[in-house]
Every structure is written in structure tokens, then in C-alpha cells.
């Protein structure tokens, strides 16, 4: 990495329709070269665009969108968070060590005004239910008192009506395996790693669930019609891009019945948000209560109030190394370890209260043990994937 640290940073865009877009080329040691598109995303694109004067950031393109370059491929495994001032702060491998080909050259389109950027970020949420994120009156009252209940508690029925249980078939029975989150009448979000061991045909989506051992009012089972796992899940780092979209298989043309209190959609973020500024955040799931307990789900879901931390604080003081985490993750929980997610909670929601509605900011992903002091859990950072989600929302 020394060659990059000592060189002035020169970046140019080649092959686009104007100075705002093109193949990304960077000059090191007097030589122009390209950047590999492996895990290249909008955060990386935004840092590149800002560094060449486009203050509103930009979007990423892959597979040599503006033509293949030539010569050396200087960089791969960039991982910007979007706020860096230089690509130097995003590098996770030494320059010149890429094994990519020029058909994987990264490119960007930079925003030339703020309106285009805002419309891009809001495109998904604008097409989802306008009634999202509303809790039943009982659920809302419980949430107001949540901060007083250290360690979490059992949820009230219909308190988190967007939570679903992803159940796997074991003979003639169904067993809870992961959580999920309803975002529309047809779509559920969850963690990609839930499908590492079990294919989609082994799963049933149960909505309106509360008591795993009872038939709750409004409870209903659906099969999975389509599964979209992020195409760069587990790239470079385990649990990287840990997100999947499930399309619910309709029953005689009937989708999920939203608006009855038992099943509702959660809201998605409107755009970029400083996660350290989030307030009134909670996690929910049927997972085990500690890491030494048998991997058996709890009969009733539990919820707990948590704090969301800057990733820098998690990599410096929480036992997570910089090569274990990525810009697609956020850490949250309690530093005293008294509120955390555990086995069986994967895929479930981390939501925060905004203007009286619950907004999904995280999807339960992974962690070191459960409830360990100084080691909050890791969650998929939903805001990073808004533009990716756009392709599935019709």
C-alpha cells in the first residue's frame, strides 16, 4: 500500500457521455490503471465522484460498462463507507495485486445535482405501502415503555406485525429457523445466510405469527415463489452483503393481506442516514436467550431496546477486526451485553421509530457469541442496499 500512500491521488473517468461518468482510472507511480468491480458499490462510487468535484456522489457500474481498459488493474477490494475524503481510506488490499480482468473494470456515473440523487434514494420507499410501520395501539404503548425494561421482554401480540417466521420442514412438522421482514404485499427481506444450508423449497413463510405453539389470529403460511440472494453475498468477507429478497407465492392470486393489524409492512429508509444518530431502536426475534442454550427457538418473540454504533467504534473497542466487517454492516446492541440477538434471530428486523412509524435500518446477521460484554451484534445495513432493492419492487 506504500505506493498509494506516497503518490498524489489522480483519478479520471473514461468512455462516458461526459465528465460525470465513465470507467474509473487511477494514476499510481506514473501509470494509469483501472479498478476491479468486485464488491464495488455506490459508497465507493460516491467517494470517487466527490474526489473529482461532484459533491453529490454517484452510482456504481460493473462489468466494464463504459468499455474495458488496458494495462494494470491497480485496485480491488475497495470498501468505502461513503464519507471518506480519499480512496486511500477505503483500500483493503495492496495496489497492483488484483486478479481481476479488464471485463471487470469499475465505472461510475456522478450526480450533477442533488435532486437526481434524492430521487434515486427514495425510489424504493415511494413504491411501497404508504401505511407502513404502524403498530397496533397496544404494541405502540409497549414500545414507549421499552427503554425501562433492561434485557428485553416478550412482545405483545401484533406489536411487530412485519416480523415473519421462516420455517423449515422437518418431516411433517415446521420448525422456526430464521426471521424475516415484510416490506410489501409480495416481498419479504431476510438474511442471505439463512439459505446456505436450506434451499427455498424447504421453507415456509409464516406471517402473523406470535406464539410458535399456537394458531394465532391472522397467522398464515405461504411458500416462496422466488428467492434473490445478493449476488456478492460472502464476497471477500464472510457475511458481506448478507441480504436476500423473498417473493411470496400468491394463493389463488391473493398476496399478503396487509392492513389487518396482524400483518403489516415495515417502512424502508428514505435515503442515506447517519446510523449513529438513530433513536428509539429495537431488535425482535424468536431466537435463543444465550449462546450456551440449545438451538431451540423461544415460544414467544422477544424485543429489546438497543443502541446503534459507528462502525469505527466497533472495530476499535468491540473485538471486531477491520477485516471482519464491511460498509454493508452496522453494529448495534448494548455494550454491557444485556440486549442482543442470538441463534434463530437471523433475518429479523432492527427498526427505529421515526415520525410515529417503524423504519427498517438493519437485518440481523451475525456476531461473536450472544450478549457478550463489549461485543454488539452485526446487522446488514439496509440503507446501503436501497438501490439494489429497487429492481425487485414493482
**Among 346, 371, 366, 345, which residue's Cα sits nearest to residue 291?**
371
Answer whether 329's CB lies under 8 Å from 239's CB: yes
Answer whether 22's CB lies under 8 Å from 66's CB: yes
Q: What is the 3-state secondary structure (H, E, C) of 121-164?
A: HHCCHHHCCCCCCCCCHHHHHHHHCHHHCCCCEECCCCCCCCEE
242 among known catalytic residues: yes
List the catalytic residue out of 165, 318, 346, 365: 346
193 among known catalytic residues: yes
**Among 98, 367, 64, which residue's Cα sits nearest to residue 236?**
98
DSSP 56-103: T-EEEE-SSTT----S-EEE--B---S--SSGGGGB-S-TT-----GG
Bridge partner list, 31: 28
89 among known catalytic residues: no
**Among 66, 84, 65, 88, which residue's Cα sits nearest to residue 75?**
88
Cα–Cα distance between 381 and 75 in angstroms, integer? 24
List the catalytic residue out of 193, 210, 345, 365: 193
Q: Render the burial of 309-333: b for 16+ CB within 10 Å, e for the rest.
A: bebeebbeebebeeebbbbbbbbbb
List the catalytic residue out of 242, 318, 327, 365: 242
The residues assigned a catalytic role are 193, 242, 346
Amino acid at each position: 500500500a506504500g505506493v498509494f500512500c506516497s503518490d498524489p491521488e489522480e483519478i479520471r473517468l473514461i468512455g462516458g457521455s461526459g465528465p460525470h461518468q465513465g470507467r474509473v482510472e487511477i494514476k499510481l507511480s506514473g501509470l494509469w490503471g483501472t479498478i476491479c468491480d468486485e464488491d464495488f458499490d455506490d459508497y465507493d462510487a460516491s467517494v470517487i465522484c466527490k474526489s473529482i468535484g461532484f459533491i453529490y456522489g454517484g452510482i456504481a457500474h460493473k462489468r466494464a460498462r463504459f468499455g474495458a481498459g488496458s494495462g494494470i488493474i491497480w485496485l480491488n477490494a475497495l470498501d468505502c463507507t461513503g464519507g471518506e475524503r480519499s480512496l486511500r481510506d477505503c483500500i483493503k488490499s495492496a495496489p497492483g495485486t488484483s486478479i481481476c480482468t479488464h471485463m471487470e473494470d469499475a465505472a461510475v456515473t456522478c450526480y450533477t445535482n442533488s435532486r437526481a440523487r434524492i430521487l434515486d434514494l427514495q425510489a424504493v420507499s415511494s413504491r411501497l405501502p404508504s401505511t407502513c410501520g404502524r403498530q397496533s395501539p397496544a404494541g405502540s404503548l409497549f414500545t414507549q415503555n421499552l427503554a425501562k425494561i433492561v434485557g428485553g421482554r416478550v412482545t405483545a401480540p401484533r406489536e411487530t406485525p412485519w416480523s415473519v417466521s421462516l420455517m423449515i420442514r422437518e418431516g411433517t412438522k415446521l420448525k422456526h429457523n430464521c426471521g424475516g421482514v415484510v416490506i410489501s404485499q409480495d416481498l419479504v427481506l431476510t438474511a442471505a445466510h439463512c439459505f446456505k444450508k436450506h434451499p427455498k423449497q424447504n421453507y415456509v413463510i409464516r406471517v402473523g405469527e406470535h406464539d410458535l405453539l399456537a394458531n394465532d389470529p391472522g397467522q398464515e403460511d405461504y411458500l416462496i415463489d422466488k428467492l434473490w440472494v445478493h449476488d456478492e453475498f460472502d464476497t471477500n468477507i464472510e457475511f458481506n452483503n448478507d441480504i436476500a429478497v423473498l417473493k411470496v407465492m400468491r394463493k389463488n392470486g391473493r398476496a399478503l393481506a396487509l392492513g389487518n393489524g396482524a400483518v403489516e409492512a415495515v417502512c424502508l429508509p428514505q435515503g442515506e442516514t447517519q446510523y449513529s444518530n438513530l433513536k428509539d431502536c429495537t431488535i425482535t426475534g424468536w431466537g435463543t436467550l444465550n449462546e450456551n442454550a440449545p438451538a431451540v427457538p423461544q415460544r414467544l418473540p422477544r424485543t429489546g431496546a438497543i443502541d446503534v454504533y459507528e462502525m469505527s467504534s466497533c472495530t476499535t473497542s468491540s473485538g471486531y477486526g477491520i477485516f471482519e466487517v464491511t460498509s454493508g454492516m452496522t453494529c448495534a446492541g448494548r455494550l454491557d451485553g444485556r440486549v442482543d440477538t442470538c441463534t434463530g434471530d437471523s433475518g429479523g428486523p432492527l427498526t427505529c421509530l421515526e415520525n410515529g412509524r417503524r423504519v427498517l435500518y438493519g437485518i440481523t446477521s451475525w456476531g461473536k457469541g450472544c450478549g457478550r460484554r463489549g461485543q454488539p451484534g452485526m446487522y446488514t445495513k439496509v440503507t446501503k442496499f436501497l438501490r439494489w432493492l429497487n429492481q425487485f419492487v414493482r
